Amino acid sequence: MVIQSNMSPKAIVKVWEITSPIFAKYKVPLTDKTLEITIDSEILPNLLTELNSAVGSSSATCIEGG
Please give the pLDDT value at position 66: 47
Given a contact cutoff of 8 angstroms between Cβ atoms, the answer to whether 62 and 1 are in contact is: yes
Query: What whole-number percentage of the chain has pLDDT above 90?
Result: 82
Instruction: Give the model's confidence band at 59: pLDDT under 50 very low, under 70 low, under 90 confident, else very high.
Output: low
CA–chain centroid gap for 18, Å, is 11
pLDDT, tens digit, 9 for 90 and up, residues 37-47: 999 999 999 99
Dist CA 35 CA 7 (whole Å) = 6
Q: Count how many residues are written for the chain.
A: 66
Please give the pLDDT value at position 15: 95
Please give the pLDDT value at position 57: 82
